[in-house]
Structure 1
Amino acid sequence: MILDLFFPNRCIHCSRIIDADLLVCDLCFEHIHFTHFDYHDENTITERCRLFFPVEKAFALMKFEEDGLSRTIIHELKYKSRESAGKTLAQWTSERLDFKNEKPDLLVSVPLHPKKLRERGYNQLHLFTEVLSKFYNIPFDHELVQRNQYSKAQALKDKKHRLETLNPFSLSKPITGKHILLIDDVFTTGNTVSSIAWEILKTGDNRVSILVMAVDV
């Protein structure tokens, strides 16, 4: 492609020229701090989620560190129009997440408010979810959970404000007897996934597990 000649894809960390479908070069890939969690064992996220709601299983792909490469990757995805990063993150996840014989019934990603979706142009979790759906052969539903309140990005709020935010979520339809894998980008306070989890858990005999791209450590 002519555009690739004049505007080659570069590693988001060191700026080396790399293949068009990559985020980082091989050297910088070694600096990504993956969690190496086992979905079926207790880990940091299951312990933290259980402080708020009865989570089944939980998995995080990376450690979200203030000066780490994972933070740069997430910010490229969310704030720099790098929607394709979701596909790369999904590929990395599929190489590390093994459901074994306990696959969830449905993949559900945290929604954006319609106004925020118009501003950003895409939900950073949708492509990630869709790639995983195809890989694991698990259906997804982008419409099940609705965000009813518009607010500024969680990353731009102080911790006290995040904790004080009222539950802005609701379900678009009743759902019963399902094991839902709820997907978010970064697990910080746990407030977002907890709010959605309780909406799912209060309607029928449902179960909730959590998958995040990164966990704040």
Structure 2
Amino acid sequence: MILDILFPNRCISCNRITDADLIICNLCFEQIHFTHFEYCGENILKEKCKLLFPVENAFALMQFEQENLSRKIIHELKYRGREKTGKVVADWVTESLDFKEGKPDLLVTVPLHPKKQRERGYNQLHLFTNTLSEFYQIPYDHGLLKRNSYSKAQALKDKKHRLENQNTFSLDKNISNQHILLIDDVFTTGNTLASITWEILKEENNTVSVLVMAMDE
């Protein structure tokens, strides 16, 4: 209680004091560019994915535009130690995502290299995914995928090097006959998701859908 008074929670956008379980105030919330995609319908993200790999469904919550609030939210999550941001964003997803007949069997996160996870202290996708798992009653597996190479953050790469997918992934266990929802923070070139999806599809009768917090056009 005393800490709340001395160090009140503040909006990451305007710095107004706000509720402890929020990351932005109600006024700034209106500035977020949500996509309003339908998970089971056609949308720009699904079209982009289909150019790279077979995909069942695709959903992005926000637009990841230059200097907009969604970019700041995700940067707070990834680079400024605000892990609880993942739960807040997941709560926003549950308000707009209806799986309908396309409900997946398993939630799977894009892994960090162990060195990167030690540096950051957490995987920014885990709390986000755990929250979705509890809400939708879908199991998750954070250990299915393994990242085999260490590289600097996508945000710190120039466009040329982002297009060169230097990250290699492998499955750490056998899995088949599963509709997997592959979860990442931002869709940029799609190369990371493509690399992972093709690994998953090597196993028998697997299918893949995609969910990202934001989509960079």
Q: TM-score range by the shorter chain?
A: over 0.9
Query: Which residue of structure 2 aligns with residue 57 of structure 1?
Result: 57
Query: Which residue of structure 1 aligns with residue 43 of structure 2?
Result: 43
Query: Which residue of structure 2 aligns with residue 16 of structure 1?
Result: 16
1:121 aligns with 2:124: no
Query: Which residue of structure 2 aligns with residue 72 of structure 1?
Result: 72
Per-residue displacement from partner, 1:141-189 (whole Å, max 9, x unpaired)? 0000010100000111112112223341000011110000000000000
Q: Distance in 2 between matches of 1:117 and 1:167?
A: 15
Query: Which residue of structure 1 aligns with residue 101 of structure 2?
Result: 101
Q: Distance in 2 between matches of 1:166 and 1:9?
A: 39
Per-residue displacement from partner, 1:16-35 (whole Å, max 9, x unpaired)? 00001101111100000000
What SS does the corresponding residue of 1:181 show, helix, strand or coil? strand
Q: Distance in 2 between matches of 1:156 and 1:184?
A: 17
Q: Distance in 2 between matches of 1:67 and 1:157?
A: 17
Query: Which residue of structure 1 aligns with residue 132 of structure 2?
Result: 132
Q: Distance in 2 between matches of 1:2 and 1:116?
A: 35
Q: Distance in 1 between matches of 2:169 and 2:154?
A: 15
Measured after TM superposition, the shift of residue 101 of structure 1 is 2.7
8 Å contact from structure 2 (residues 57, 102) kept in 1: no
Measured after TM superposition, the shift of residue 102 of structure 1 is 2.1
8 Å contact from structure 2 (residues 151, 167) kept in 1: no
Q: Which amino acid aligns with 1:124?
A: Q
Q: Distance in 2 between matches of 1:166 and 1:23?
A: 33
Query: Which residue of structure 2 aligns with residue 192 of structure 1?
Result: 192
Q: Distance in 1 between matches of 2:108 and 2:95?
A: 20
TM-score by length of 2: 0.98
Q: How many residues matched?
A: 217
Query: What's the Cα RMSD here?
Result: 0.7
Query: Which residue of structure 2 aligns with residue 179 of structure 1?
Result: 179
Per-residue displacement from partner, 1:57-100 (whole Å, max 9, x unpaired)? 00000000111000000000000000000000000000000001
Q: Which amino acid aligns with 1:160?
A: K
8 Å contact from structure 2 (residues 57, 210) kept in 1: yes
Q: Distance in 2 between matches of 1:181 and 1:48?
A: 16
Q: Distance in 1 between matches of 2:54 and 2:207?
A: 8
Q: Distance in 2 between matches of 1:103 and 1:70?
A: 26
What SS does the corresponding residue of 1:61 show, helix, strand or coil? strand
Q: Which amino acid aligns with 1:47?
A: E
TM-score by length of 1: 0.98
- Note the residue ranges of structure 2 that are not aligned, 5 or more in a row: none
Q: Distance in 2 between matches of 1:214 and 1:102?
A: 20
Q: Which amino acid aligns with 1:68?
A: N
